[in-house]
């Protein structure tokens, strides 16, 4: 369309400068034609361009909304299917075992202790999602509770096996010091103490004391022909242990370094050593009773369910795990 004489207010040089400034060289011809058009044509072009742009923006907005909905659905599906990786599962198992070997007032709260520890050290443990994502936290807590159940079962079996003896001499118990070193090597992290603390020795001695009583009871039931606990049934070990710990903490208080606790530790360790010496000199507990107590929740992987090397402590940068 021909331009109206005298309508132009911008020189060709000024227009080209503006085109170059906005890097619109490929559209130079179209812009020149537009500049030469009359006002009515320009207004119509502007309106049409605006309407086209509005329609494109609307279509893009709808596409973005659809994409956002799809992403939200994918996130929900991912949340439902989220579970710890193999490496994370090994880390959680190591943490659970570490807390099991430490002195504690209750073994029923191990899962909560591990959860609190992860919360406080999530950066070192590379489990930041535990703090920020409810789904991940729930999945990890569920995994931890399962590990606690299995690890407690394996710990109880290890106690029974220490009373049954080792493969080289099945009629002798394992000495408390030897047993404790094995357990600490398998359970404690990141640094294994050179000398097993009396608090750990005492806890293991208490467990062995309870285990000895339960196995002796089962052995006596078999001797007199009384139907004892069914294979795979609950031994009652953890219930008795919790009761004994409640009594001890009520008597000696929460400070495990107090004089009362130290005296108890020496006493229970001494009793275990005396029991070991007595059983070494005489006949050990019935192998049938031991095997009955070990059955029920899966085979024992090794003598003490050792799993050294599950987690490379250096690679995982556990740092402050020595609690």
Bigger pLDDT: 66 vs 286: 66
Q: Which sign, positive or negative, has the C-alpha torsion 237, 243, 246, 249?
A: negative
Q: Sorting pLDDT into bands at 50, 70 and 90, what band is 25?
A: confident
pLDDT digits (tens, 9 = 90+) for 154-206: 999 999 999 876 555 555 678 999 999 999 999 987 777 888 999 999 999 99
Q: What is the pLDDT of residue 290?
A: 55
Out of 62-66, 214-218, 219-223, 241-245, pick the least confident.
219-223
Q: What predicted TM-score, i.e. pTM, was given to this entire model?
A: 0.64
Give the CA distances from residue 109 to residues 96, 112, 116, 188, 261, in Å, rounded to whole numbers and listed in that order. Answer: 11, 5, 11, 18, 21
The predicted structure's pLDDT at residue 2: 46
The predicted structure's pLDDT at residue 188: 87
Token pair of 76 as six digits: 């929900």
Structure letter (DSSP) for residue 223: H
Q: How high is the pLDDT of residue 174? A: 86
The predicted structure's pLDDT at residue 284: 46
Alpha helices for the chain (secondary structure H): 12-21, 28-36, 39-81, 86-101, 110-120, 122-125, 129-132, 134-164, 176-187, 198-223, 237-252, 259-281, 287-294, 313-316
The CB density around residue 192, as the number of other CB atoms within 10 Å, is 12
Instruction: Quickly state the pLDDT bin for 298 (edges 50, 70, 90).
Output: very low
Comparing C-alpha atoms, which of 273, 109, 58 is closest to residue 177? 273
pLDDT exceeds 70 at position 55 = yes
Distance CA 273, CA 279 (A): 10
Residue whose C-alpha is closest to residue 97's, from 304, 299, 297: 304
Higher pLDDT, 7 or 97: 97
Question: Cα-flanking dihedrals φ and ψ of residue 255, to 5°?
Answer: -80, 105
In terms of Cα–Cα distance, which of 153, 144, 155 is closest to 89? 144
């Amino acid at each position: 369309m021909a331009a109206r004489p005298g309508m132009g207010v911008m020189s060709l040089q000024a227009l080209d400068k503006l085109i170059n400034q906005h890097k619109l060289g490929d559209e130079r011809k179209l812009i020149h034609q537009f500049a030469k058009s009359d006002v009515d044509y320009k207004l119509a072009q502007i309106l049409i361009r605006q309407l086209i742009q509005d329609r494109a923006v609307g279509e893009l907005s709808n596409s973005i909304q659809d994409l956002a909905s799809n992403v939200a659905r994918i996130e929900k599906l991912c949340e439902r299917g989220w579970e710890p990786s193999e490496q994370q599962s090994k880390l959680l198992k190591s943490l659970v075992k570490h807390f099991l070997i430490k002195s504690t007032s209750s073994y029923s709260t191990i899962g909560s202790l591990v959860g609190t520890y992860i919360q406080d050290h999530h950066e070192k443990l590379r489990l930041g999602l535990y703090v920020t994502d409810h789904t991940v936290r729930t999945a990890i807590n569920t995994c931890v509770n399962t590990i606690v159940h299995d690890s407690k079962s394996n710990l109880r079996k290890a106690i029974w096996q220490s009373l049954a003896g080792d493969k080289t001499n099945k009629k002798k118990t394992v000495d408390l010091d030897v047993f404790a070193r094995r357990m600490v090597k398998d359970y404690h992290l990141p640094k294994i103490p050179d000398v097993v603390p009396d608090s750990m020795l005492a806890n293991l001695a208490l467990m062995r004391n309870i285990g000895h009583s339960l196995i002796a009871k089962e052995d006596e039931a078999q001797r007199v022909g009384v139907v004892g606990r069914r294979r795979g049934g609950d031994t009652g070990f953890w219930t008795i242990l919790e009761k004994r710990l409640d009594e001890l903490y009520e008597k000696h208080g929460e400070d495990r370094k107090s004089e009362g606790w130290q005296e108890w530790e020496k006493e229970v360790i001494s009793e275990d050593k005396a029991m070991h010496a007595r059983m070494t000199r005489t006949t050990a507990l019935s192998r049938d009773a031991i095997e009955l107590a070990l059955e029920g929740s899966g085979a024992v992987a090794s003598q003490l369910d050792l799993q050294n090397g599950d987690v490379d402590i250096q690679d995982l940068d556990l740092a402050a795990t020595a609690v």
